[in-house]
Structure 1
Amino acid sequence: MSIPHSQLKADFDRDGFIAFRPLFDAARMAEINRELDRFLIECVPKMSETEVYYEDKANRSTVKQMMYLEKYDSYFKTLLSDGVIKELAETVLGEAAVAQNMEYFNKPPGIGKQTPPHQDGYYFKIAPPKAITGWLALEPVDDENGCLQYVRGSHAFEGWRPHGRSEILGFSQGITDFGTEHDVANTAAQPGPAGMLLMHDCKTVHWASPNRSPTRSRRALGFVYFGVSAKTDEEMKRAYQAKLDADLKAANKI
């Protein structure tokens, strides 16, 4: 990387996120997008209803989110587990990173819903909260199609912000007291080109607007890593996931 690792770590510790605009060039992004298009055809039919969500359940072309791509395809397993993104995760975590999940996020044109303000670690059920998420833009992102928004420095506060049910498929919990003076003053929008990588702390508050573009999607890959020191409360995680899956089925969302 052209930026010294010590500077990346300092910037991350100060802000709760870092950005590379871009990390990957056009040729690499063309390759990743081709592999994703292949995955959507070959692998999605093999995935469980709790691993792939749709904006419109009746329309299989409206995939909005997928989890655990690495379980179904070696290309995405390698992208998650080897290479520069994992190296960056270890730099900002300050310890070895353990790959957890390769995700896909999309906001289809005109119908892509908002991503409610949240903290990723609230879902993770880990202690200590040593985890990061990488977010790779697969196409240009801006305010119109729903770029990410961070609250700079929000990772530094003790504990978790209060969360409640959001009713947004794929983001079951949202911060209930969002909009504080600190939130407003420290909001930092993250537009950028295809190949932009964002990386944020699991306590960093972030969200995204709906996709208001009538023609452009907003596709991205997520890379979740836990620090080697983080331990999962497996019982709490299983109970949370079981209740979420039951609620989504009852609401006919999956």
Structure 2
Amino acid sequence: MSQIQPNLAGLKQDFDRDGYIAIRPLFDAARMAEINREFDRYIAECVPKMADTEVFYEAKGDKGSLKQMQNMQHYDAYFRDLLETDTIRQLAETMLGEPARAVNLEYFNKPAGIGKPTPPHQDGYYFHFNPPAAVTGWLALEPVDAENGCIHYVRGSHLAPGYRPHGRSEILGFSQGITDFGTEDDKANTVAFPGEAGTLLMHHSKTVHWAGANTSPTRARRALGFVYFGQSAKVDEAAKAAYQARLQADLRAADKI
């Protein structure tokens, strides 16, 4: 098994300018087969142990509609190592320009035919920290394209001061979305990122991104997300806890969890 040896200096230049990078692919077919086998094992062994606030389904009660998971590293050594010690962390630290701590290994899926769109948003808006020194890596577990909901980035959007205005979203797993999205600048700078299994995207916490619905009748859109905070990022723990409490209360009231 092997992986592409990326040009780190070139990627850092791209990241600073655009707010994202793409490596197509980072991992070869053999490595992706291993990750997918381990993922199937994780579903069987670990999901039954996870809290209901860490596992989300597109249709509550339908195990075949698994949509999102949080904190996979807390339940399994293989995925903890993938987050904490593998190449993706090295990429994160290079893009941030400082040491980073591994925060969260997530799973994102858009089930075939029913996967909803991901609203335009900035990850840092959810993180309750300052400065916004964080990145999210996104690893495709299978081919991704416009039909099953590939990611779109707004080039250079991380350079604007502050965050765009966000408001409550009805999309499970993405509680806030940008309320003024769709400007001429957004349209002119939006770039789509289809790719094969093993494609690795990584973006700054202020980079605006979104994804369409999965309109494929047969294909899912499964991916892993890797969140890293730079050592300079200081989290407002009280604000974060209050936000999470409100969100979980809203989800329970809506019978989503």
Q: TM-score range by the shorter chain?
A: over 0.9
1:181 to 178, 181, 184: 184
> What residue number does 1:241 align with?
244
Q: How far, CA to CA, are the matches of 1:141 and 1:2 in structure 2? A: 22
Q: Which residue of 2 aligns with 1:251?
A: 254
Supply the distance in 1 between the matched residues of 2:16 and 2:28 (Cα, whole angstroms). Answer: 27
**Structure 1 CA distance, aligned partners of 2:7 and 2:201?**
17
In structure 2, what is the equivalent of residue 222 of structure 1? 225
Letter in 2 for 1:163: H
How far apart are 1:83 and its partner, in Å? 1.7
| Structure-2 separation of matches of 1:126 and 1:58 | 34
Which residue is 2:141 aligned to?
A: 138
Shift of 1:56: 0.6
Name 1:16's counterpart in structure 2. 19
Please, which of 77, 88, 93 is the counterpart of residue 91 of structure 2? 88
Within 5 Å, which residues of 2 pair with 1:194-205? 194-205=197-208
TM-score between both structures, scaled by the size of structure 2: 0.98
Q: How far 1:5 moved relative to its partner?
A: 2.1
What aligned pairs does 1:25-104 form with structure 2 within 5 A after superposition?
Answer: 25-104=28-107
Q: How many residues align?
A: 254
Q: Deviations over 1:72-117 (max 9, x none)?
A: 0000000000021000000000000110000000000000000000
Separation in 2, partners of 1:73, 1:62: 22
1:148-171 deviation per Cα after TM superposition (whole angstroms, max 9, x unaligned): 000000000000000000110000
Measured in 1, the distance between the counterparts of 2:27 and 2:194 equals 16
- Opposite residue 8 of structure 1, the aligned amino acid is L
Instruction: Tell me the distance in 2 between the aligned counterparts of 1:104 and 1:181.
Output: 32
DSSP-derived class of the 1:198 partner: strand
- In 2, Cα distance between equivalents of 1:4 and 1:191: 21
Shift of 1:58: 2.0
- Show the counterpart of 2:171: 168
- 1:6, CA displacement in angstroms? 1.9
* 1:153-207 deviations in Å (ceiling 9; x for gaps): 0000000000000110000000000001110000000000000000000000000
Counterpart Cα distance in 1 of 2:6 and 2:62: 44
Instruction: Tell me the distance in 2 between the aligned counterparts of 1:80 and 1:135.
Output: 11
- Specify the code of the residue in structure 2 equivalent to 1:123: Y
TM-score by length of 1: 0.99
Give the partner amino acid of 1:84.
T
Q: Any unmatched runs of 5+ in structure 2?
A: none
Provide the identity percentage: 69
Q: Cα RMSD (Å) of the superposition?
A: 0.7
Contiguous gaps of at least 5 residues in structure 1? none
After superposition, give the CA deviation of every residue in 1:1-42 in whole Å (9 maximum; x if it has no partner): 644322211110000000000000000000000111111111
Structure-1 separation of matches of 2:55 and 2:167: 22
